């Protein structure tokens, strides 16, 4: 019999889903970034839960304040990808017995900082003893049916876009976890992206208003994985014309003799949004993101064939369906 370590996160989720009765008329399909239920006249309550576990989600160098804040940012990022404003959140906290009073204070302050950054409030929770630090956040908001940016609406011809460059967190983790080195300014930017992630909430909310987005996802499991998820849910393919590698990750890769493509596509802990945009509404989407203080970067387009390709040294190469997966990495 296979153990969780062999099954992997996605197989575990599939096994569990297969044993669940489906709620009738679910407005958001199982497996999208958020869940929802309808409360009448097209109003949806939108829900998300994501659990931070000390052992796997808190790298060396991250304070408990940062871990608590990150537990909230992880959840807000999924709301951002769907274009939903978070309102309130609950926290289930598992604490090791030897946690100090200062740890608890920092967790409270970190949770509050994370929530208030996105204009939401912690309104309840629960705490108990656990072998490892566990911060399970549940986030709630409201949306109009039909306004949510799901994973499933991409069509051939749509433009593929991201809200910023990739690769910084995977490079940052190599510094924090593997002890790799980098020039001070590069090091700071890379490490900061891991310790103080930011959800692209303003961008996501602005984009949802435009009606220009046909599919969207966050990128916590990496860019390659996000592309494959949109492709799978929308039954389309993609060509990536310009890999959005961050300047700092590029420099780090050169000095440390790493592959910048690997850092860009297959790292986890990314917080950019990955989107497909109706071509005739591109300008509108671009302006909306700029007004929200961000940038919309075109990286390719949606195709009809079911593969995801990018050009590397003059050859078409497949973007592999891999990324960060719990139990496997």
Kind plus residue range of the DSSP H or E element containing 184? helix 184-195
| Nearest distance, CB of residue 188 and a second copy, angstroms | 28
Asked whether 43 and 138 are in contact (CB, 8 A), the reply is no
CA 185 to centroid of chain Cα atoms: 25
Question: Which CB, 40 or 179, lies closer to a second copy?
Answer: 40
Question: Which CB, 126 or 259, lies closer to a second copy?
Answer: 126
| Nearest distance, CB of residue 96 and a second copy, angstroms | 7
The Cα–Cα gap between 168 and 173 comes to: 9
- The residue whose two tokens read 């719990």 is 326
What residues contact 79, with CB distance under 8 A and at least 6 apart? 33, 34, 46, 48, 85, 86, 139, 141, 199, 201, 204
Count CB-CB contacts under 10 A for residue 199.
25
What residues contact 269, with CB distance under 8 A and at least 6 apart? 169, 170, 173, 194, 197, 220, 324
Question: Which CB, 118 or 252, lies closer to a second copy?
Answer: 118
Kind plus residue range of the DSSP H or E element containing 51? strand 43-53
| Nearest distance, CB of residue 45 and a second copy, angstroms | 6
Kind plus residue range of the DSSP H or E element containing 275? strand 273-277
| Nearest distance, CB of residue 246 and a second copy, angstroms | 26
| Nearest distance, CB of residue 83 and a second copy, angstroms | 17
Question: Which CB, 1 or 315, lies closer to a second copy?
Answer: 1
Question: Which CB, 63 or 316, lies closer to a second copy?
Answer: 63
Question: Which CB, 282 or 327, lies closer to a second copy?
Answer: 327
Strands (E), 133-268: 134-144, 159-162, 213-218, 237-240
Strand, helix or coil for residue 167: coil
| Nearest distance, CB of residue 121 and a second copy, angstroms | 4
| Nearest distance, CB of residue 297 and a second copy, angstroms | 28
Question: Which CB, 43 or 185, lies closer to a second copy?
Answer: 43
């Amino acid at each position: 019999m296979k153990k969780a370590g062999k099954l992997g996160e996605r197989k575990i989720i599939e096994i569990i889903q297969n044993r669940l009765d489906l709620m009738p008329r679910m407005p958001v399909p199982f497996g999208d970034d958020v869940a929802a239920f309808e409360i009448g006249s097209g109003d949806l309550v939108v829900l998300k839960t994501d659990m931070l576990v000390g052992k796997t989600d808190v790298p060396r160098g991250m304070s408990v304040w940062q871990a608590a804040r990150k537990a909230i940012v992880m959840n807000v990022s999924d709301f951002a990808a769907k274009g939903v404003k978070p309102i309130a959140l609950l926290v289930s906290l598992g604490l090791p017995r030897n946690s100090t009073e200062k740890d608890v204070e920092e967790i409270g302050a970190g949770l509050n900082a994370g929530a208030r950054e996105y204009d939401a409030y912690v309104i309840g929770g629960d705490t108990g003893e656990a072998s490892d630090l566990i911060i399970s956040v549940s986030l709630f908001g409201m949306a109009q049916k039909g306004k949510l940016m799901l994973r499933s609406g991409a069509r051939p011809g749509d433009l593929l876009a991201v809200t910023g460059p990739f690769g910084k967190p995977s490079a940052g983790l190599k510094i924090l976890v593997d002890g790799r080195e980098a020039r001070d300014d590069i090091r700071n930017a890379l490490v900061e992206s891991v310790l103080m992630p930011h959800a692209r909430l303003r961008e996501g909310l602005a984009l949802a208003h435009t009606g220009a987005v046909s599919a969207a996802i966050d990128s916590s499991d990496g860019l390659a994985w996000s592309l494959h998820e949109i492709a799978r849910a929308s039954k389309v393919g993609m060509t990536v014309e310009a890999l959005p590698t961050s300047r700092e990750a590029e420099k780090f890769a050169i000095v440390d003799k790493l592959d910048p493509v690997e850092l860009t596509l297959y790292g986890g802990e990314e917080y950019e949004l990955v989107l497909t945009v109706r071509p005739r509404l591109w300008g509108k989407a671009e302006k909306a993101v700029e007004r929200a203080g961000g940038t919309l970067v075109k990286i390719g387009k949606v195709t009809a064939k079911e593969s995801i390709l990018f050009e590397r040294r003059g050859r078409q190469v497949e973007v592999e369906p891999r990324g960060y997966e719990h139990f496997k990495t």
